[in-house]
Amino acid sequence: MSMGLVLFLLMAALEIVLVIMTCVRTTEKKAWRKNRLFVRIAEIVIAIAAILLPFGQKWRLTGVLVTLAVLAFIVALAILIKRKKEEGAVRKSKAIVSCVLSFLLIGFALVPAFVFTGYNGLPTSGRYDVKETSAILIDNTRTDSFETDGSSREVPVHFYYPGVEDGSTERFPLIVFSHGAFGYYQSNTSTYMELASNGYVVAALDHPHHAFFTKDTDGKTVIVDMDFLNTAMNLNNEMSNEKLYALYTEWMSLRTADVNCAVDAIKAAAAAGKTDEGWFLSDRDSGEILSVLSMIDIGRIGLMGHSMGGATAVALGRERDDVSAVIDLDGTMLGEYTDIVNGELTVCEEAYIVPVLAFDNWDSYNDMKEYAAQGGIHPNVELLKNASTGFQTTVRDTKHMDFTDLPLLSPLLGNMLGSGERDTKETLTIVNSLVLAFFDCYLKGEGVFTVNDTY
């Protein structure tokens, strides 16, 4: 049973008791207000208990519960202010309306508790504790096309890194992660944590206006661009290949530039041992950022991403000569489309030099094989044919979002966006172990990487 349902049932029970007491006997307004005040105080106590006690803390809904407690306090205060006004018996209809309104208010306040679970990541296998810090990179070479004030493009970057002892000289490979369309930087937190615990620095990016939400240097929340959202959600066979190619090129251009900005800035700062004016840091994070930069081995860089982020990683594997390994989590490799010839999309035929690992959801994996068998040209299939070192795998009964943490954080949203019958925790355990083994092999030179076609 979810935390939201538990809280709703407790508070609803209080409201129902109040309305029953009012309806079965004549209740003076003064007594009714006293009872209402008692119910509000009880609701405040329940909310505070859920914040403070361990069983409530694991749901990580402090903000929701504080809001609920504040709302109950405001109503209680209003009752106190009006407690001496109006005499006589309370109308039963008024008591019922008050109960219904309370149900609606409590239900609305608890929406996040119904939508989100108490998911707090998966167990990690490495010997390091994992720490986090963040910064915003300002790319003064680009104007943000989504803004109207001519401001420079900003790229938030969130680091997950091994907690090492002071004075340690250990150096770790860098993994840069790009989220999917209208995703956000935490989409694959379990993967970042697994990697960081095993000796990697992970830089998870937000792509402003492609991300569901993020923050800019002014502290303003930047939400997904609705035109981008609608277009990405409604790609279909009725759209011309010319239009599709223009969209793919536009999206890949923005995202690869964001990742290039991050990789170049991290490499430069790590080499110099300091940040420059292109780094926007909070007072809390500035010291930690320097510590993170000092532990990065800029000679060992891997890229990965989910969906459109996976396509971004693959595209940059072609463009950059400092990338040593690439992982695509269920992304169509949009950057592999090169042109339109006779109305048809053409795909790059050049060799792909960097080791690449591609995950595909169960339906896509089988559809892709069937499409290729019928003579169709699919970018993923063609790239893997041309890859010097390429691997493809799938997990049975999975869908697109099963390659992220979302179905564990919110089963409701996961099902809406695509979650299969396979247990997502099981899927991510498989995925994260393969991700780690792949990077261990090609970034650390440890072991020989092998993968099954199907899990």
The pLDDT of 203-231, averaged and rounded, is 95
Tens of pLDDT, residues 124-175: 999 999 999 999 999 999 999 999 999 999 999 999 999 999 889 999 999 9
Question: Using 50, 70 and 90 to split pLDDT, how confident is the model at 238?
Answer: confident
Residue with the larger pLDDT of the pair 286 and 269: 269
| Residue numbers of the domain that contains 54 | 3-115
Q: What pLDDT is recorded for position 20?
A: 78
| Span 416-434, average pLDDT | 96
> What is the pLDDT averaged over residues 8-35?
72
pLDDT at residue 59, rounded to an integer: 47
Which has the minimum average pLDDT: 92-96, 240-244, 246-250, 283-287? 92-96
pLDDT of residue 101: 74
Residues 141 and 78 grouped into a single domain:
no
For residue 120, the model assigns a pLDDT of 79
Residue 439 lies in a domain: yes
CATH number of the structural domain spanning residue 310: 3.40.50.1820
Same domain, 234 and 372: yes
Classified as helix, coil or strand, 321 is coil
Mean pLDDT of the chain: 88
Give residue-wise pLDDT tens across range 45-74: 777 777 676 545 444 455 556 666 676 677
281 and 373 in a single domain? The answer is yes
Residues 156 and 82 in one domain: no
Cβ neighbour number for residue 393 with a 10 Å cutoff? 17
Mean pLDDT of 443-447: 97
Q: Do residues 398 and 321 share a domain?
A: yes
* d(C-alpha 304, C-alpha 444), whole Å: 16
pLDDT of 113 reads: 59
Domain match, 111 and 141 both? no
Rounded Cα distance between 303 and 313, Å, is 5
Angle at 295 between CA 444 and CA 184, to 5 degrees: 85
Are β-strands 129-143 and 344-347 bridged in parallel, bridged antiparallel, or unpaired?
A: unpaired
Is pLDDT at 308 greater than 60 in this prediction?
yes
**What does the pLDDT average to over 408-419?**
88
Give me the pLDDT at residue 48, please: 74
Q: In the β-sheet with 129-143, what is the strand arrangement from edge to edge?
A: 279-280, 129-143, 152-163, 201-205, 172-178, 296-306, 325-329, 356-361, 390-395
Is residue 294 predicted with pLDDT exceeding 60? yes
Question: Which segment, 32-36, 84-88, 420-424, is predicted with the most confidence on average?
Answer: 420-424
**pLDDT at position 58, please?**
46
Residue 2, pLDDT > 60, answer no
- Model confidence at 273: pLDDT above 50: yes
pLDDT computed for residue 5 by the predictor: 66
* 229 and 298 belong to one structural domain: yes
| Cα gap 270→232, rounded to integer Å | 36
Within this chain, do residues 197 and 285 fall inside the same structural domain, yes or no?
yes
- Shared domain check, 280 and 334: yes
Nearest to 66 by CA among 82, 50, 55: 50
Percentage with pLDDT > 90 across the chain:
65
194: pLDDT strictly greater than 80: yes
Looking at 84, 115, 146, the residue that finishes a domain is 115
Instruction: Specify whether 16 is located in the same domain as 152.
Output: no
pLDDT of 41 strictly over 90:
no
Q: Domains in the chain: how many in total?
A: 2
Q: Does any domain span residue 415?
A: yes
What is the C-alpha to C-alpha distance for residues 71 and 46, in angstroms, rounded to an integer?
13
DSSP string, 218-238: TS-EEEPPHHHHHHHHT--TT
Q: What is the pLDDT of residue 386?
A: 96
pLDDT exceeds cutoff 70 at 423: yes
Q: 34-48, 209-223, 370-384, 411-425: which range is least confident on average?
A: 34-48
| Domain co-membership, 21 together with 143 | no
pTM of the model: 0.81
Q: What is the pLDDT of residue 109?
A: 63
Q: Are residues 83 and 195 in the same domain?
A: no
User: Is residue 412 pLDDT above 90, yes or no?
Assistant: no
410 to 115, 121, 184, 188, 385: CA distances (angstroms): 6, 12, 14, 13, 37
Percent of the chain's residues with pLDDT above 70: 84
**Mean of the pLDDT values across residues 266-293?**
92
Residues 6+ apart with CB under 8 A from 245: 337, 339, 340, 345
Least confident of 42-56, 397-411, 435-449: 42-56
Q: Is residue 354 exposed (0-12), middle (13-18) or buried (19+ Cβ within 10 Å)? A: buried
pLDDT recorded at residue 383: 97
